[in-house]
Amino acid sequence: MFFLDSSDPKDILDLFAWGVLSGVTTNPLIIAREAGAVDLGERIRDVVRVSAGHVSVELTAETEAVMIEEALGYHAWAPDRICIKVPFNEVGLRVNHALVQRGIPTNVTCLMSFNQAYLAALSGATYVSIFSGRVRDMGYDVRPVIAETRAQLDREGLRARIIVGSIRHFMDVNEALSAGAHVVTVPPGILRKMLHNPKTDETILEFNTAWANRGK
C-alpha cells in the first residue's frame, strides 16, 4: 500500500488519479518547504478535499496538555479523515494513548528502532512510522527493523500498521515492502520515477511505430 508524502494539493490531485494511493502523510518540514507561511488549516482541508484515506497531520507542541489540545483541533477539521501524527518520546506516548482512548487515529512518527516501534504499537497507535533514510544515515540497515517490527505485530496481534517513510530512492520502496511494511509513504518524485524503465519505453515506441506504419 502507498501513501503520498506531500502537502501539495496539485500533486496530490494528479497522483491520486492513478488509483494507487490510499492516504497522505505530511510533516512540518514538508509543509514549510512546499507552502511557506500558508494557513495550516486551509492547506490540510485542501489536501483532504483532493485525496482519500487518512491524512496525517503532525503535532508541533511539546507539552502534553497543549499537544492534546492541538490534536483535537486538527482532528476537528475532518474527523473521519485526519490522523494525528505524534512525535515519539515519553510525552508523545502519553499523548498517543490519550488520543487512542478518545477513538482518534494516530501515527507515531520519527521511529528509528524496533524498540521504539514496539512501544508505539503497544500504546495503541494506528500507524508506526519508521524512517528508512534516517536509519541509513546512522549507518544501519533498516530492513531488520521493519522485519522484526512486523513479526512482533503479527505474533501479538497488535493493530498497528507499519509505515516506512524517509524514502530517498525507489529501491527503498522495494526493500521496505519486502521486509514487511504495510505502507510506504512516497514523495511525488520517487513515485513518478517508479513508472519508468527504458525497455518499457522502447517497447511501447516499437508497438506504436509499427501500428502507425502499417500498410505502408
Q: Which helix (H) or strand (E) holds 123?
A: none
Using the CB atoms, write b or e for 94-119: b if 16+ within 10 Å. ebbebbbeeebbbbbbbbbbbebbbb
Which pLDDT value is given to residue 175? 97
Kindly name the residue from 10, 85, 199, 216 that is annotated as catalytic: 85
Per the CATH hierarchy, to which homologous superfamily does domain 2-212 belong? Aldolase class I (3.20.20.70)
- For the chain, domain boundaries: 2-212
| Number of C-beta neighbours around residue 212 at 10 A | 8
Residue whose C-alpha cell reads 505530511 in the numeric block: 26
193 tagged catalytic: no
| Integer Cα distance of 77 and 72 in angstroms | 9
Give, in degrees to the nearest 5, the angle at Cα 181 between 104 and 2: 70
Which pLDDT value is given to residue 36? 76
Which pLDDT value is given to residue 216? 74
**Cell triple for 200:** 518499457
Which pLDDT value is given to residue 37? 78
Beta bridge partners of 21: 2
Query: Is this model's pTM higher than 0.85 or not?
Result: yes
Alpha helices in 84-181 (DSSP H): 90-101, 114-122, 132-137, 142-156, 170-179
Average pLDDT per run of 10 along the chain, which is 216 residues long? 96 98 93 84 95 97 96 97 98 98 98 98 98 95 98 98 96 97 97 94 92 83
Task: Taking the CA atoms of 9, 10, 11 and 17 in sequence, report the sign of the dihedral they define.
Answer: positive
